[in-house]
Amino acid sequence: MVDLTQYLPILIFLVIAVGLSSAFVFLPMGVARLTGTHKPDPAKLTEYECGFPAFEDARSQFDVRFYLVAILFIIFDLEAAFLFPWAVSLKEIGWAGWATMMVFLAELAIGLVYAWKKGALDWE
């Protein structure tokens, strides 16, 4: 027979976690309903984004250049994420690590020049 008393602390932890999560979600909604005026009207129920009312269909197509700039941003943002651990461990990895990172940065620089020459960074 398996002794299930070992799992009692985990069960207590899960009950507390679910209880607190439920309280953090439902308690503010209940307090707002009890203390505030809950009178929805069409003005309150309209979509509101970035400080402007919605003036177009939300499912409209974006220009491909928007996605291209976003992908390029992600690529070069990840470059910075790779540079920090490399800089911290440069003393341990030595010249081989330095040369490898220079190859990586050269590839990214070539990619940036290519995107620039193709006009991927131009916004009209």
Q: What is the pLDDT of residues 9-27, one digit of tens each?
A: 999 999 999 999 999 999 9
Does residue 4 sit in the same domain as residue 44? yes
Largest distance between two CA atoms of the chain: 73
Confidence of residue 51 (pLDDT cuts 50, 70, 90): low
Q: How far apart are the first and last CA of the chain?
A: 73
Does residue 55 sit in the same domain as residue 70? no
**Residue 70 near residue 76 (C-beta atoms within 8 A):** no
Q: Which domain holds residue 25?
A: 1-60
Please state the domain count of the chain: 2
Confidence of residue 40 (pLDDT cuts 50, 70, 90): confident
Does residue 67 sit in the same domain as residue 100? yes
Residue 63 has pLDDT above 80, yes or no: no
Does residue 39 sit in the same domain as residue 93? no
